[in-house]
Amino acid sequence: MFKLSDFLERRLARRFRAHDNDQNGFLERRDFEISAVRMAEEFGHGPESPARQKLVEISLGLWEHLRKVADLDTDGRISLAEYKAAFAAGLLETAESFNDGYVPYINAVMDIADQDRDGKLTVSEEIRWMGSLMHVPEHVAREGFHRIDKDNDGFITGSELVESIRGFYFDESPDSPGYWLLGPLDS
């Protein structure tokens, strides 16, 4: 068990709100399913789409893992306190545990959002997936995109997304692309 910094606690609260689709103060299975379906539909993936099915499957798998490690009172939902406690207990403690959770998830996101299948996202694709999946406003997603696109080529890759998410949790520097991923902490 490690002590969460104030910065990470605020980050986790921000991420929690992004997951809490219905804003009821708890994470529940339906939050993960609804968000995945909404994102798939944003990009024209109907119920029969293998990419949509994969994103829903991975999202529900993430929910099940989170439920097992964070739902301390076993009520089928996760409070912010339970969410933070899971991270303090080491939910993303190792590079392997981080990669196990986020690489397949970002791959599934890319399978839906990368419309021309070139392995890169445009700013428009980034805005659409961040907005539809995590309720990130356009101006925040646009700013995050430009920070993630370190080489300024106008695209971001799945590996750049994974690194920005890693920075979201582990890098407190304001220069880190992850620092800006979901917008300023005070908003």
Q: pLDDT digits over 124-144, tens only?
A: 999 999 999 999 999 999 999
| Three-class DSSP labels, the chain | CCCCCHHHHHHHHHHHHHHCCCCCCCECHHHHHHHHHHHHHHCCCCCCCHHHHHHHHHHHHHHHHHHHHHCCCCCCCECHHHHHHHHHCCCCCCHHHHHHHHHHHHHHHHHHHCCCCCCEECHHHHHHHHHHHHCCCHHHHHHHHHHHCCCCCCCEEHHHHHHHHHHHHHCCCCCCHHHHCCCCCCC
Q: Could you name the CATH architecture of 6-180?
A: Orthogonal Bundle (1.10)
What is this structure's pTM? 0.90
For the chain, the structural domain boundaries read: 6-180
pLDDT at 37: 98
- Using pLDDT thresholds of 50, 70 and 90, give the confidence band for residue 79: very high
pLDDT at 91: 62
For residue range 26-60, what is the model confidence (pLDDT) as tens digits?
999 999 999 999 999 999 999 999 999 999 999 99
